[in-house]
A and B are shown apart, each in its own frame.
Chain A
Amino acid sequence: GQQLNQSPQSMFIQEGEDVSMNCTSSSIFNTWLWYKQDPGEGPVLLIALYKAGELTSNGRLTAQFGITRKDSFLNISASIPSDVGIYFCAGLRTTDSWGKLQFGAGTQVVVTP
């Protein structure tokens, strides 16, 4: 079954606003990943996190690996229209190999001008 709870399910925001989403789990994860999926495309990796407490940025995107190792957060600052898409969190539990990546259900982001 699904291990990760991702919220919110969807967000409708105005251009220029900041966006925050998170992912939580009852299990400990040793790797957290954030992906973006554009319409009609496969997911593309945005940020990878490997240590508890780690804070990593990629342009206007910032993600954090929660210190409990059971959650992660993604922030998008000053959103622009091309930020539209579905954002997925994904994680690897300590006992799983890379082949057992778990995904959240996704956050649909819609940006209006």
Chain B
Amino acid sequence: EAQVTQNPRYLITVTGKKLTVTCSQNMNHEYMSWYRQDPGLGLRQIYYSMNVEVTDKGDVPEGYKVSRKEKRNFPLILESPSPNQTSLYFCASTASNYGTDTQYFGPGTRLTVL
């Protein structure tokens, strides 16, 4: 089954404690993205990756890092989380850059930073 998986699904942490949210897709997609979803703001892109070792900033990259060492994985790293990073996070992947391919979203990770 084609899918995007994220772990953990829920996480409560404290300010300053480094954390990583993993994302993995089994569709051999080139493009992967991270979004955060906040009430009234919809989904805002944090980072995206066009292929292995190729990443670029989205609209709200501050406080986040990503890496793309393998095609299937695209972890999101918060080196020093702060309460304003409390949000619902989604990873997504799509096959290509041509806009004709469906973007698949993961189930989401709800992060609370105290």
The CA of A90 and the CA of B44, in the complex, are separated in Å by 11
Task: From known contacts A97-B50, A100-B48, infer whether A92 and B105 are also in contact, taking CB-CB under 8 Å.
Answer: no
B105 adjacent to A6 (CB under 8 Å): no
Contacts of A31 in B (CB 8 A): 99
**Chain A's interface: helix, strand, loop or mixed, by majority?**
mixed
Interface members, chain B 1-60 (any A CB < 8 Å): 4, 31, 33, 35, 40-45, 48-50, 56, 58-59
What's the tally of chain B residues with a CB closer than 8 Å to chain A?
31
| Tally of contact residues, A, Cβ under 8 A | 29
In the complex, which residues 38-95 of chain B have their Cβ closer than 8 Å to any Cβ of chain A?
40-45, 48-50, 56, 58-59, 90, 92, 94
> Chain B: residues with CB nearer than 8 A to chain A?
4, 31, 33, 35, 40-45, 48-50, 56, 58-59, 90, 92, 94, 96-103, 105-108
A: residues with CB less than 8 A from B are 1-2, 4, 6, 9, 30-31, 33, 40-45, 48, 50, 88, 90, 92, 97-106
